[in-house]
Chain A
Amino acid sequence: MKITIKLTSVFLLFILVSACSSDDGTVMQEDFVVAFENPSMSFGATEAEKDINLVFSTAATESGSIDISFTGTNAVYGDTEDFVTVPAAVNGVVTVEVASGAENASFVFKKLKDAVEGTEKSISFEISSVNLMGGMSNGTTATQVAFEETAALGGNLAPEVGGPNQPNQVYVDLSAQNQTSINREAWDLAFYNGDEFRVAINGSLYMAVAELDETNIDAVTAEQVADLQSSVAVGTFDAANTVYVDMPNGDINGTAIQEISATDTENKVYLVNMGSEIGTTEPEAGSVSTSGDSRGWMKIRVLRNDTDYTLQYAGLDDTKHKEISISKDAGFNFQFVSLVSEGVVSVEPEKEKWDLNFTVFTNEIEGFGSYGYSDFVTTNTMGNVSAYMINTETISYGDFTISDIDEATFDADQRAIGSNWRNGGGPGTLPSLKEDVFFVVKDGNGNIYKLKFTALVNESGVRGYPSFEYALLQ
């Protein structure tokens, strides 16, 4: 009996060992991979020094160092020459210390002499060795520093949309590699700066407007419009409700508010559904909560005053309206007005200084009317930015080069990226990153980038943490 048990356990042990060795989940000892954060960097006219960042694949498990070599084009290292670094280079090598536990490192680049007009002046840094256990460089192993403003070669950006409530609209400039963020509730109406006299509404708040038959704003009462109110909203699943919102393709001639006429009597009063406040509840990981309480209702009327706009506005039941005068500024697509702070506010960067806008968006589902989207990306079509999508079945992101660009495909619809970069989800499935597509984006200066989204959520699966990488096609 005892012997049997012993034999059995020996036998079992044997099985156990063989079973474990066939286990496919063996942990791979991960390498410690180092790269430059971005493949290029350039100096504006007034800038003198910048950090050059290095990122790691994982936190360093020990302390060590990274050696970086460099070669200059019309530029020489030295205190009396073109540039120096901190820490200083020794024999043409910059050694950056890595502390145990660190997830990144950096060194300082100091520009000493500007470039001479017409000559290229740049330094190319390259990681020559990573002096840590399992250390290696991969990915962006080199970075180019230009002494004057140059279009970025690419890199990666994480627009700060602000998590699952998506409180921010984020304007991204690819060539300058920067982002500008503004709270969605900062503005309500956008007055067009181009030739036409047009007014757009803030679709990121799900605003909606309806033209009334009245031209006297003070005569409009809540009672008069009561029947209309249930229809003047986003997401009512009424195919006809698109008349209450701006055309989602971004065409300025498709705004819900008719063109402002020079003849005042032709400019009707509009009922304004102010949309929803930014959501405040924390949804389950992976979901969004973009809309909160209703922002209520107002009435407006817009008039032309020579080349300016005059905005009349009031609460629905007010019998006395107020006015704001808005002057056009050709440097921007729009002038923005907040009916809450009752004045002109600064929202968008200058029209040539942004390419993409990450925003909550009022889109349309054909046959069902307006529909609210989160994680939306619009292109600055008014600033001549256009884009198109490519499926990786056709060609991979890595293989795509300048010769693969199809000029005819660039889409002038501001939704060329839109929500095409994510899977929509549905009952029981959450939206997710679409990994089999990437985009080609042409900016107003003719720089063409390929752009691939790398995240819709953060590491914990929380929505509102998008990121993408991109590279200049040249």
Chain B
Amino acid sequence: MKKTNLAFAFATGVMIMACSDKKQTNDAQTTNLKETVQAEYPEIPREEILEDDTLATKVYEELKLRYKNQLIELHKAVTANGAQLIITFLSPEVGESLTKSNRLGKELVEGYAKELQVPFYDLTQKLANQDPKVVTQLPKDGHWSKEGAKIIAEELTPIIKQYAAVKSTKTFAEKPETFGDLFPSNDEILDGGKGLPYRVKTNAQGLRMDTDVSSTKTKQRILFLGDSEMYFPFLDNKNIGTNLLQTAFPDKEMLNAANWGYSIDDYVSLYKEKAQFAEPDVVILSVNGNDILDMYFSHRNRFARNKQPQNPSETEKSFYQKHYQK
């Protein structure tokens, strides 16, 4: 009987170990700190920030300023390397269907671009004018379909041609191992939990592209920074906009460093820490109007690449308490 109990206890122990949903990992303490802040502030406000009241206005002003400062920093870093920064507006809400936050955000970013003398292009015009029968977005999710990605690539084509002569001036003798944040040399089937399986291939430098960036630069390099709109989830590599452009421009290298949930502060840190070492000549930054709201601390803590937690400012804290901690 003793043996029986022992065997039973062992089997139960093994099954409990095996069935636990997550394995123990030795993540850095910073991740725990970030998780603590996230747990304390789980909600992410959106339209509430655009409400017509003094506190909300104050929060939005703070977010605008934060966004603008980051954009200035990115612009400085890109121009310091002799490269050209281009801003493109890309949003699944097109034409008349722009939400308030997207419309306001678009006007602001366009204004900042003008101030900084950075070219600004709206890529949504052609999408808005499409025959409604053409499905440009995945009905289940809202991200770009194959057709949508094709139109985006077509919209980007004349822009890329326009800057064909641009060459960056800075070269780097020492480079990091990767230029992007994706797991390098990966070939994986993902479905984002939505039943839309797609295949993500990354190159050795952690970029969403099929080929590695050559060690010696012989072609013009175009770097794409953006969030999921430029990452093209739910599409295989061969169907994403940047790969279509790569096929159209064999004399250039299209470097896709976009990633889910990223915003302007991520682009700045990603560019400085990794992407600039790929020596891109043109940096195409994909923005949408919601990027301003994305600067809210609880959104950043959920999605930012920075492992350090972002604590709320006094205004953000008051706003959060007013809406979620009544």
Q: Do A and B bind each other?
A: no
List chain A positions with a Cβ less than 8 A from chain B. Answer: none
List chain B positions with a Cβ less than 8 A from chain A. Answer: none
